[in-house]
Amino acid sequence: MDHRRVVIDSYGGPDVLRIATEPLPEPGPGEVRVRVLAAGVSFADLLMREGIHPESRRPPFTPGWDLVGVVDKLGANASSATVGETVAALPIVGGYSEYLCLPAGELLPVPDGLDPAEVVSLVLNYGTAYQMMHRSVGARAGESALIHAGAGGVGTALLELGGIIDLEMYATASRTKHGIVSGLGAHPIDYQSSDFVQEVEALTEGAGLDMVFDGIGGTHVARSYRTLRRGGRVVAYGHATSLVDRTLVGGRRGRFRGIPSLVGQVVRHWLIPDGRRLTIYSIQTLKKRRPRWFREDMATLFGLLADGRLRPVVAQRLPLVEAARAHELLGERSVTGKIVLVCTE
């Protein structure tokens, strides 16, 4: 029996994604074969496709950070899993596949009856948002927060989770997406026609913010830092400045764009403390350092979804063979929420 997966043979644009048909993979010792139901499409996938993400693999490789599927076959000594069980995982690569073998210890049990597309929206996007909010900055009810790219996958997750704990929220978004941001309980700021630093100062009457979640990166982080009040904190977690109009900024050398500014900000913060804090967050790094936290946090999120307290925004559901189109849509910055690839027919 054969299956299909997406392969990247060389770094580049969406056109480098191709569909390969191959024999089913066989699970090794301690591994489980998963029949993938849904794979998330993330901005990290785009950066890895270009070879500029810290987790980038050398081609050929299959992209796909997060997935939901059903356990299909057990390898030797993989007794912790059960055939037929619905599971989720954050493999970082490999998700754009109909079948994938993973270590049994990487699988997260998924409650019965949930929509796989909504569940996969939680793994990377909501996992990132929840850990930044609760592990990185310890957000508390009544505090104020600015969420950049508020209509994006992580942005909408932050807004939903912030609403649950009653944060006072502001979010940058293009004017066409202000309705989405407002509907999630935030005051929208049009980043295309106004300076968000000045807007925050006016909206808070000069008091500043308790926290900012910045997935833009580069010099943008320093500007986010300026909006904080004493005791405030910024979480930097992304590299959205690396791609503009679906192309790599400044050619391959653009991979380092903004890094000197961010490093300088970190050094300055360490040498000259001013009562504010800058934290750099990486879901894969924290997962390696604190695997128990990751499992606990995902169980919490699955529970919130099962209870109807979370309603992830699924932007589009596309078949696996349209992975290149999914990358094009995400690169155009026109997407609200999460694009999901449906990996089995």
| Residue 163 pLDDT exceeds 60 | yes
Residue type, 72: D
Percent of the chain surpassing pLDDT 90:
80
| Residue 296 pLDDT exceeds 80 | yes
User: CA-CA distance, 176 to 193, in Å (whole number)?
Assistant: 12
**Does the bond joining 273 to the residue before it have cis omega, within 30 degrees of 0?**
no
Q: Where are the alpha helices (DSSP H) in 94-195?
A: 116-121, 127-131, 153-164, 178-183
Q: pTM (2 decimals)?
A: 0.90
Mean pLDDT of the chain: 90
266 versus 286: the higher-pLDDT residue is 286
Are 2-110+313-342 and 124-285 the same fold in CATH? no
The two three-digit tokens of residue 230, written as one number: 């004493």
Domain ranges of the chain: 2-110+313-342, 124-285
CATH of 124-285, one of 3.30.70.890, 3.40.50.970, 3.30.450.90, 3.40.50.720: 3.40.50.720
The two three-digit tokens of residue 149, written as one number: 């790219």
Residue type, 321: V
Burial of 107-132, coded b for 16+ CB within 10 Å and e otherwise, reads bbbbeeebbbbbbbbbbbbbbbbbbb
CATH of 2-110+313-342, one of 3.40.50.2300, 2.60.120.590, 3.90.180.10, 3.30.465.10: 3.90.180.10
User: CA-CA distance, 208 to 136, in Å (whole number)?
Assistant: 19
What are 207-236's pLDDT values in tens digits?
999 999 999 988 889 999 999 999 999 999
Q: What is the mean pLDDT of residues 310-337?
A: 92
| Residue 9 pLDDT exceeds 90 | yes
Residue type, 172: T
Please say whether the beta carbons of 120 and 66 come within 8 A.
Answer: yes
| Residue 265 pLDDT exceeds 90 | no
Please list the residues that pair with 73 across neighbouring strands.
33
pLDDT value of position 264: 54
User: CA-CA distance, 165 to 96, in Å (whole number)?
Assistant: 34
| Residue 311 pLDDT exceeds 90 | yes
Residue type, 243: L
